[in-house]
Amino acid sequence: MKVEKIGFGEIDTFSPIFLDYLAEKDALKEFYRYSIQLDSFKEAINERSSFSENHRKTLVNVLKKQYSSIDTPEAVTENINSLANNNTFTVVTGHQLNIFTGPLYFIYKIVTTYKLAQKLKEAYPEYNFVPVYWMASEDHDFAEINHFNLFGKQIKWETDQTGPVGRFTTEGMVENLNLNGMGDEIEAFLNFYKKEDTLAKAHLSLVNYLFGKDGVVTIDADHPELKSIFAPIIKEDIFSEKSNELTEKQTGALTDLGYKSQVYSRDINFFYLKDDLRERIVKTDSGDYKTVNEVAQWTKEELSSEIEQHPERFSPNVIMRPVYQETILPNLAYIGGPAEVAYWLQLKLVFDYYDTFFPVLMPRNFALTLNKANVKKYEKLEIGTKQLFIPFEEQKKDFIEKLTENEIKLNEQKKGLAKVFDEIKDKAAEIDKSLQGFVGSEMAKSMKSIDNIEKRLQKAEEKRHEITLNQLESLLNKLFPNGSLQERHDNFLNFYLNHPKFIEHLKSAFDPFDFTFNILFEDE
């Protein structure tokens, strides 16, 4: 696979805060702990070496239970066992449980995480580094994960289930998806949803199928033993509302620098969790507590007891989930996209307050993939990679000018006409100064006529090169579906089903310390 690269700043895609973070601008340095350099990990390892041995034991026990019914590759088993050792650390990415993995960048995140673990092992061979995928199994926004885009068609799962999506039953899901006519190749992926009884288990099995041989460990943090570790922070944060105070302070500082907020904090940043519900906890005017829909109500003492006895019933939101992650994992780095990097920068004071390790924030790798058919179109058009990121309507005029041998800009003619009218105006002034206005009006009409002629010439050129323009528009529509980045729309099966080595090609192309956009050209 041929790879070309383009700088993030060369394309109008990324937010200022993300670009400034990558550039390590001084203004942002107080909002994170480590710079995104390989050398930073030595200090991070030293700081993280004090991670609790008891927490390690709990983590290993939970992971073994979660993998007990799955055909686990040796690389995963070894990595899980190694987490009991003080010289083993994790590097983590996280994502929702999108069916069939959702958009392409889900795959890119895990490949980046795997490659980072490799790079760290090469640099620090005396330590072990485990790539981990954190399933956001407690999220309840089903509309965000219930579909994927395959071969130009949206495949959608319809169900009336509510609550944390990881606990959704997959019974009848495959029939509901209506994948008739998609080919036998997809059957292997359908089997995960047929065999496993919950979405979390099916998702774990699917990721294990794709990345198990690479030692990628998937964790479902919706587990009583893991929540027990986090229980003291759950209680402290609900009653003190400290994360809200500190997040708002940090967010205000970022806003003062001109950056936009990515996430918003609440007074209480926890949900109450059961099989069919995930509802926000709020404090009442009387000082008691309840869920927003009053499914549950407690006095302060009752809520404290509930947290102690059933910590698994309390689910962190986007503000506290990162703290939960770093509490239960011996983690060094979090790998995320631009929005994730931005919201982690809002959380540094929360981590400081809870004396919790703030990891190296690593951007994931980004890519635009051209299959063989699109490579041929691209080469025929003789355009550069940067042009791929310019919307069709913005570059059509420039593209026409490149194609045509005729000069369809009439700037020189306009200058010449203006000179003629200036001479006429001077002549008219000698005869009757009142004629100057008339001459000026006639000049404006003539200039407008030339503008119209120029537009007609432009349209004639567009028509003459209509086939080429259609090819350009067709290519851009395929690479940027609905005007969005391919990686945020297309599912990886669009490439994987025809090219089973697609993920291997990504591993060869990606470098976690190369902060550029990858343009991938299939050549097999």
Rg (CA), the chain: 29
Per-chain mean pLDDT for the chain: 93
Q: Mind giving me the DSSP string for 140-208? A: --GGGTSEEEETTEEEE------S-GGG-B-TTHHHHH--TTS-GGGHHHHHHHHH-SBHHHHHHHHHH
Interval 486-514 mean pLDDT = 95
pLDDT single digits (tens) 121-139:
999 999 999 999 999 999 9
Residues 6+ apart with CB under 8 A from 463: none
Q: What percentage of residues in the chain have a pLDDT greater than 90?
A: 77
d(CA 159, CA 145): 12
Residue 239 or residue 455, greater confidence: 239
Please state which of the ranges 247-256, 292-301, 344-353, 419-428 shows the lowest mean pLDDT: 419-428
Please state which of the ranges 18-22, 25-29, 277-281, 470-474 shows the lowest mean pLDDT: 470-474
pLDDT for residue 178:
79
User: 364: closest CA among 79, 107, 144?
Assistant: 107
Interval 325-344 mean pLDDT = 98
Q: What percentage of residues in the chain have a pLDDT greater than 70?
A: 97
pLDDT single digits (tens) 417-427:
878 888 887 88
Q: What residue type is 259 in one-letter code?
A: Y
Please state which of the ranges 173-177, 340-344, 393-397 shows the lowest mean pLDDT: 393-397
Interval 431-443 mean pLDDT = 80
pLDDT for residue 303:
98
Interval 199-203 mean pLDDT = 97
pLDDT for residue 183:
67
Residues 6+ apart with CB under 8 A from 283: 241, 267, 268, 289
Tell me the pLDDT band of 181, cut-offs 50, 70 and 90. Answer: low
Tell me the pLDDT band of 403, cut-offs 50, 70 and 90. Answer: low
Tell me the pLDDT band of 444, cut-offs 50, 70 and 90. Answer: confident
User: 20: closest CA among 341, 304, 273, 470?
Assistant: 341
Interval 397-417 mean pLDDT = 72
pLDDT for residue 155:
93
* HSE value, Cβ hemisphere, 13 Å, CA-based, for 282: 11
Q: What's CA 465's distance to the chain center, in Å?
A: 37
Residues 6+ apart with CB under 8 A from 504: none
pLDDT for residue 447:
82
Let me know: does 516 contact 5? Beta carbons within 8 Å. Answer: yes
Residue written as tokens 């005017």?
285
pLDDT for residue 394:
86
Could you give the strand order of the β-sheet that contains 289-291, starting from the edge strand earlier in sequence? 297-298, 289-291, 277-283, 270-274, 314-316
d(CA 286, CA 289): 9
Interval 162-176 mean pLDDT = 95
Interval 116-120 mean pLDDT = 98
Q: What's CA 328's distance to the chain center, in Å?
A: 23
Whether residue 406 is predicted with pLDDT greater than 60 in this model: the reply is no
pLDDT for residue 523:
81
d(CA 3, CA 506): 10
